[in-house]
Amino acid sequence: MELQELQQVASFIGYRCASKDLYKTHGRVAQCLRRWIDDALQGKYFVFVGEDSMGASFDSEHAAVFKYGGVKILIFRPW
C-alpha cells in the first residue's frame, strides 16, 4: 500500500469522525476508528490512538498521522 493510499484512509476516517461529531473525546475517536476500520477497510490497516503529546515514531512510508485537537491517530499497514 502506498503512502498516498494511507493518507486517503486518514482523510476518510477524519471526515467521518468529524461529520458524526465523534472527535471530541479520546474514547469516541477510538470507537469511531474501530468501527470504520472494521466496516470499510476490512482489517487491512492497524490503528493506534493516543494523546497528541505522545512521542510516537513511525516509518512514514508505511504510516499516516491524523490529528484532531489533542488526539493523535497513527494508521499503518501490517508488515
Of 3.30.740.10, 2.60.40.650, 1.10.10.10, 3.30.460.80, which CATH number belongs to 3-76?
3.30.740.10
3-state SS, one letter per residue, for 8-73: HHHHHHHHHHHHCCCCCCHHHHHHHHHHHHHHHHCCCCEEEEEECCCCCCCCCCCEEEEEECCEEE
> What's the confidence (pLDDT) of residue 70?
65
> What's the confidence (pLDDT) of residue 40?
52
> What's the confidence (pLDDT) of residue 54?
56
Render pLDDT for 38-60 as a digit per residue (tens, 0 to 9): 655 566 667 766 665 655 555 55
- The mean pLDDT of 66-78, rounded to a whole number, is 67
Output phi, psi for 20, to 5 deg: -95, 0
> What's the confidence (pLDDT) of residue 22?
46
> What's the confidence (pLDDT) of residue 74?
73
- Mean of the per-residue pLDDT values for the chain? 62
For residue 12, give the C-alpha cell. Answer: 476518510
